[in-house]
Protein backbone atom coordinates (compact mmCIF):
# COMPACT_ATOMS: atom_id res chain seq x y z
CA UNK A 1 0.00 0.00 0.00
CA UNK A 2 1.39 3.37 -0.94
CA UNK A 3 1.66 6.27 1.44
CA UNK A 4 -0.97 8.31 -0.41
CA UNK A 5 -3.46 5.43 -0.33
CA UNK A 6 -2.79 4.86 3.36
CA UNK A 7 -3.29 8.59 4.09
CA UNK A 8 -6.48 8.60 2.05
CA UNK A 9 -7.93 5.61 3.94
CA UNK A 10 -7.14 7.19 7.32
CA UNK A 11 -8.79 10.42 6.22
CA UNK A 12 -11.86 8.52 4.95
CA UNK A 13 -12.08 6.66 8.27
CA UNK A 14 -11.89 9.92 10.24
CA UNK A 15 -14.58 11.51 8.07
CA UNK A 16 -16.81 8.44 8.40
CA UNK A 17 -16.46 8.45 12.21
CA UNK A 18 -17.24 12.17 12.34
CA UNK A 19 -20.36 11.74 10.19
CA UNK A 20 -21.59 8.81 12.30
CA UNK A 21 -21.00 10.74 15.53
CA UNK A 22 -22.77 13.81 14.17
CA UNK A 23 -25.76 11.77 13.04
CA UNK A 24 -25.88 9.93 16.36
CA UNK A 25 -25.75 13.20 18.29
CA UNK A 26 -28.44 14.75 16.14
CA UNK A 27 -30.76 11.78 16.46
CA UNK A 28 -30.13 11.59 20.20
CA UNK A 29 -30.89 15.29 20.63
CA UNK A 30 -34.04 14.97 18.57
CA UNK A 31 -35.23 12.05 20.70
CA UNK A 32 -34.38 13.69 24.01
CA UNK A 33 -35.42 17.26 23.31
CA UNK A 34 -37.91 16.98 20.49
CA UNK A 35 -40.12 13.98 20.18
CA UNK A 36 -39.28 12.32 23.49
CA UNK A 37 -40.01 15.12 25.96
CA UNK A 38 -43.32 16.75 26.80
CA UNK A 39 -43.62 20.32 25.59
CA UNK A 40 -46.07 23.11 26.18
CA UNK A 41 -48.11 23.68 23.07
CA UNK A 42 -49.21 27.16 22.19
CA UNK A 43 -51.50 26.37 19.29
CA UNK A 44 -54.99 27.74 18.86
CA UNK A 45 -56.78 24.49 19.62
CA UNK A 46 -59.26 24.65 22.51
CA UNK A 47 -58.00 23.12 25.73
CA UNK A 48 -54.33 23.26 24.79
CA UNK A 49 -51.58 23.17 27.42
CA UNK A 50 -50.99 26.95 27.38
CA UNK A 51 -54.52 27.52 28.65
CA UNK A 52 -53.92 25.01 31.45
CA UNK A 53 -50.87 26.84 32.82
CA UNK A 54 -51.49 28.54 36.13
CA UNK A 55 -51.09 32.34 36.11
CA UNK A 56 -47.64 32.21 37.72
CA UNK A 57 -46.29 29.73 35.16
CA UNK A 58 -47.79 31.81 32.36
CA UNK A 59 -46.22 34.99 33.78
CA UNK A 60 -42.84 33.28 34.01
CA UNK A 61 -43.14 32.31 30.36
CA UNK A 62 -44.70 35.51 28.95
CA UNK A 63 -44.43 38.15 31.62
CA UNK A 64 -41.65 39.76 33.56
CA UNK A 65 -40.52 40.84 37.00
CA UNK A 66 -40.30 44.19 38.73
CA UNK A 67 -37.27 44.15 41.01
CA UNK A 68 -37.65 46.32 44.11
CA UNK A 69 -34.84 47.62 46.29
CA UNK A 70 -34.29 45.80 49.58
CA UNK A 71 -36.45 46.54 52.60
CA UNK A 72 -34.96 46.86 56.09
CA UNK A 73 -37.63 47.34 58.73
CA UNK A 74 -38.20 47.01 62.47
CA UNK A 75 -40.59 44.22 63.32
CA UNK A 76 -43.45 44.55 65.81
CA UNK A 77 -41.87 42.35 68.51
CA UNK A 78 -42.53 43.59 72.06
CA UNK A 79 -39.76 41.70 73.85
CA UNK A 80 -36.76 42.86 71.77
CA UNK A 81 -35.79 44.96 68.77
CA UNK A 82 -35.80 42.70 65.73
CA UNK A 83 -35.21 43.55 62.10
CA UNK A 84 -36.27 42.09 58.79
CA UNK A 85 -34.27 42.45 55.59
CA UNK A 86 -36.41 41.50 52.64
CA UNK A 87 -35.92 41.60 48.88
CA UNK A 88 -39.17 41.54 46.90
CA UNK A 89 -39.76 40.97 43.21
CA UNK A 90 -43.17 41.38 41.62
CA UNK A 91 -44.16 39.00 38.84
CA UNK A 92 -46.41 40.58 36.19
CA UNK A 93 -48.36 39.02 33.33
CA UNK A 94 -47.07 41.11 30.41
CA UNK A 95 -43.48 42.17 29.87
CA UNK A 96 -44.50 44.90 27.42
CA UNK A 97 -45.86 46.94 30.34
CA UNK A 98 -42.75 46.62 32.52
CA UNK A 99 -41.32 49.95 31.40
CA UNK A 100 -44.50 51.75 32.49
CA UNK A 101 -44.26 50.21 35.96
CA UNK A 102 -40.53 50.71 36.48
CA UNK A 103 -40.56 54.32 35.29
CA UNK A 104 -43.63 55.35 37.30
CA UNK A 105 -42.01 56.85 40.40
CA UNK A 106 -45.35 57.45 42.15
CA UNK A 107 -46.31 53.80 41.71
CA UNK A 108 -42.92 52.62 42.97
CA UNK A 109 -43.22 54.84 46.06
CA UNK A 110 -46.78 53.67 46.78
CA UNK A 111 -45.79 50.00 46.45
CA UNK A 112 -42.85 50.48 48.82
CA UNK A 113 -45.03 52.38 51.30
CA UNK A 114 -47.68 49.64 51.36
CA UNK A 115 -45.05 46.93 51.78
CA UNK A 116 -43.27 48.81 54.61
CA UNK A 117 -46.59 49.36 56.40
CA UNK A 118 -47.41 45.67 56.07
CA UNK A 119 -43.98 44.47 57.23
CA UNK A 120 -43.80 46.69 60.31
CA UNK A 121 -47.06 45.21 61.61
CA UNK A 122 -45.57 41.70 61.71
CA UNK A 123 -43.62 40.02 64.50
CA UNK A 124 -40.64 37.74 63.99
CA UNK A 125 -42.66 34.83 65.39
CA UNK A 126 -45.31 35.30 62.68
CA UNK A 127 -42.72 35.38 59.91
CA UNK A 128 -40.48 32.51 60.98
CA UNK A 129 -42.73 29.75 59.66
CA UNK A 130 -43.40 28.89 56.04
CA UNK A 131 -47.10 29.56 56.66
CA UNK A 132 -46.22 33.04 57.97
CA UNK A 133 -44.20 33.84 54.86
CA UNK A 134 -47.00 32.55 52.66
CA UNK A 135 -49.53 34.71 54.51
CA UNK A 136 -47.28 37.77 54.19
CA UNK A 137 -46.87 37.15 50.45
CA UNK A 138 -50.66 36.88 50.04
CA UNK A 139 -51.28 40.00 52.12
CA UNK A 140 -48.78 42.09 50.14
CA UNK A 141 -50.28 40.80 46.89
CA UNK A 142 -53.81 41.70 47.99
CA UNK A 143 -52.80 45.21 49.04
CA UNK A 144 -50.76 46.20 45.97
CA UNK A 145 -52.59 44.34 43.17
CA UNK A 146 -55.17 47.16 42.72
CA UNK A 147 -52.34 49.50 41.65
CA UNK A 148 -51.49 47.26 38.69
CA UNK A 149 -53.76 47.63 35.68
CA UNK A 150 -51.46 46.88 32.77
CA UNK A 151 -49.51 44.75 33.39
CA UNK A 152 -51.42 42.89 36.10
CA UNK A 153 -49.69 41.65 39.24
CA UNK A 154 -49.50 37.86 39.27
CA UNK A 155 -47.25 36.96 42.21
CA UNK A 156 -45.06 38.39 44.95
CA UNK A 157 -41.67 36.72 45.25
CA UNK A 158 -39.26 36.90 48.19
CA UNK A 159 -35.71 36.62 46.88
CA UNK A 160 -34.00 37.43 50.19
CA UNK A 161 -35.55 37.01 53.65
CA UNK A 162 -33.45 37.52 56.80
CA UNK A 163 -34.73 38.13 60.33
CA UNK A 164 -32.21 39.40 62.88
CA UNK A 165 -33.04 37.80 66.22
28-46 per-position pLDDT tens digit: 555 555 544 343 333 444 4
pLDDT of residue 5: 61
What CATH superfamily is the domain 55-164? Band 7 domain (3.30.479.30)
- Give CA–CA dist 45/41, Å, rounded: 9
Report the run of H or E that residue 147 belongs to, with start and end.
none
pLDDT of residue 98: 87
Can you tell me whether residue 42 is helix, strand or coil?
Answer: coil
Contacts 24+ apart (CB under 8 A), 5-13: none
119 and 71 Cβ atoms separated by less than 8 Å: yes
| Nearest CA-CA partner of 124 in 78, 163, 72 | 163
pLDDT of residue 33: 55
118 and 143 Cβ atoms separated by less than 8 Å: yes
- Give every residue of the chain whose pLDDT is below 70, as ranges: 1-8, 12, 16-53
Amino acid sequence: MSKSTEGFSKMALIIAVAVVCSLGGGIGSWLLLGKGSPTVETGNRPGNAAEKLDPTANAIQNGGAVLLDSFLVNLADDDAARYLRLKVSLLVDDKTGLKQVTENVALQMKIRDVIVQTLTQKSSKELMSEAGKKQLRAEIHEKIAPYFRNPKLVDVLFTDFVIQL
